[in-house]
């Protein structure tokens, strides 16, 4: 009997059997420990609570038709967590320890990996925070690393269907030389005012512009933005956005499909020239954008007028998902089987 209603899972937290933890003390990481508790005991003066010393990652495990569980480019997540740790002065999680933790936690929670064809996946959430007590503003001497998993459905509830988004000019998510390139909790806190307002107005998320000039597209809620014109995949280059592993992969896939690629500043006005737009990320996968509303300028950019993703977006989606599910050959060496 199925343990969950796999086809109708939300993108949210569901309790699983185990999580993995390790503590960094006296300059070194302790052994990985398996826990069944959903709770942590945390010092009241921990820097993770007071000064935002916290970073996380997000990746997925996919159940193939062949019954094998695969992870997508986990080494890129391990490297990005190191970048985030350096960015806010935390202890690094070594790549081998990251690997061991995520593979072990998936194996321990195997019964929660959604079946092939359900449209759901197992989301893996590694988390690193300063757990030592400090009251002055300085990096902690102690850290905690936790990895939990939760089965998830699509981030945007209709999955691969066009969504509407709104351009936000009155909130900045990240400053040009700030923490936008790191996957730290503070960036998400900074995005919440815009996100709540967007949802209240019927949009799934907001598009942030560059904080300095408000001329260029930056981040698209919890995902990177892309636009298509003249058989070219165009995605913003910015020093304040997360370097999305999905986006990086789409650039490679596009090239292999004969689609040109450009990574450069994308002026807001260029939205009128794109024939397709979308957002991409682990949670969002590829989500086509139907409408981008710019309330300050009173402009609505419309795509997907027939209610479906455009041809290039569709082609990229099909290829990406086929590789992730193990349906297509892993020609880029992106997938690792959990054994
Ligand atoms: N941008 C932001 C702000 C994100 O939170 C994410 C999610 O991880 C992404 C982009 C997409 O990155 P990735 O494809 O590595 O998941
Ligand atoms: C992801 O795509 O993994 C994310 O982290 C997005 C969001 C859930 C924070």
Look up the CATH number of the domain holding residue 110: 3.30.470.10
Is 183 designated active site?
Answer: yes
pLDDT in tens, 102-112: 999 999 999 99
95 and 189 both lie in a single domain:
no
Considering 125, 152, 179, which residue would you say is the last residue of a domain?
A: 152
245 lines ligand 2 (CB under 6 A): no
CA 298 to ligand 2 center in whole angstroms: 30
CA 338 to ligand 1 center in whole angstroms: 23
Please tell me the residue having the least CA distance from ligand 2 atom 8: 283
Considering 130, 152, 174, which residue would you say is the last residue of a domain?
A: 152
92 and 192 both lie in a single domain:
no
66 and 147 both lie in a single domain:
yes
Domain-embedded: residue 296: yes
185 lines ligand 1 (CB under 6 A): no
Alpha-carbon distance values, 212 to 25, 172, 217 (Å): 40, 9, 12
| Structural domain of 56 | 6-152
User: How many angstroms separate the CA atoms of 117 and 53, rounded?
Assistant: 38
pLDDT in tens, 276-330: 999 999 999 999 999 999 999 999 999 999 999 999 999 999 999 999 999 999 9
pTM for this entry = 0.97
Q: What is the mean pLDDT of residues 27-52?
A: 98
When divided into structural domains, the chain yields a total of 2
283 lines ligand 2 (CB under 6 A): yes
Considering 152, 181, 214, which residue would you say is the last residue of a domain?
A: 152
Ligand minimally distant from the alpha carbon of residue 207: 1
Domain-embedded: residue 331: no
Domain-embedded: residue 157: no
173 and 319 both lie in a single domain:
yes
138 and 197 both lie in a single domain:
no
User: How many angstroms separate the CA atoms of 159 and 114, rounded?
Assistant: 16
Domain-embedded: residue 76: yes
282 lines ligand 2 (CB under 6 A): yes
Please tell me the residue having the least CA distance from ligand 2 atom 7: 222
216 and 147 both lie in a single domain:
no
Sequence length of the chain is: 339
180 and 252 both lie in a single domain:
yes
Domain-embedded: residue 77: yes
Ligand minimally distant from the alpha carbon of residue 279: 1
Strand partners, 280: 224, 286
Domain-embedded: residue 1: no
94 and 185 both lie in a single domain:
no
pLDDT in tens, 119-178: 999 999 999 999 999 999 999 999 999 999 999 998 988 889 999 999 999 999 999 999
Query: Please, what is the end-to-end C-alpha distance for the chain in angstroms?
Result: 24
């Amino acid at each position: 009997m199925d343990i969950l209603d796999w086809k109708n899972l939300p993108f949210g937290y569901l309790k699983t059997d185990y999580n993995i933890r390790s503590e960094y003390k006296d300059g070194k990481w302790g052994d990985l420990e398996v826990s069944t508790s959903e709770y942590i005991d945390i010092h009241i003066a921990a820097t993770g609570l007071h000064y935002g010393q916290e970073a996380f990652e997000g990746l997925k495990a996919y159940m193939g038709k062949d019954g094998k569980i695969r992870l997508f480019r986990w080494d890129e997540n391990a490297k990005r967590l190191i970048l985030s740790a350096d960015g806010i002065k935390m202890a690094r999680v070594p790549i081998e320890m990251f690997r061991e933790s995520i593979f072990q936690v998936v194996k321990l929670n195997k019964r929660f990996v959604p079946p092939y064809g359900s449209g759901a996946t197992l989301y893996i959430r590694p988390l690193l925070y300063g757990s030592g007590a400090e009251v002055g503003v300085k990096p902690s001497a102690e850290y905690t690393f936790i990895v939990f998993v939760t089965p998830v459905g699509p981030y945007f509830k209709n999955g691969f269907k066009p969504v509407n988004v709104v351009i936000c000019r009155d909130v900045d998510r990240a400053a040009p030389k700030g923490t936008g390139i790191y996957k730290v909790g503070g960036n998400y806190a900074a995005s919440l005012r815009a996100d709540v307002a967007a949802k209240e107005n019927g949009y799934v998320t907001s598009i942030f512009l560059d904080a300095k000039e408000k001329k260029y597209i930056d981040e698209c809620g919890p995902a990177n933005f892309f636009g298509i014109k003249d058989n070219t995949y165009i995605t913003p280059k910015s020093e304040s956005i997360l370097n999305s592993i999905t986006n990086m992969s789409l650039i490679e896939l596009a090239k292999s499909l004969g689609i040109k690629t450009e990574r450069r500043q994308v002026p807001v006005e260029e939205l009128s020239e794109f024939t397709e737009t979308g957002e991409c990320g682990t949670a969002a996968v590829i989500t086509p954008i139907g409408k981008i509303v710019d309330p300050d300028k009173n402009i609505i950019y419309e795509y997907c007028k027939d209610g479906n993703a455009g041809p290039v977006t569709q082609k990229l989606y099909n290829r990406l998902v086929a590789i992730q599910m193990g349906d297509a050959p892993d020609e880029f060496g992106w997938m690792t089987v959990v054994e």
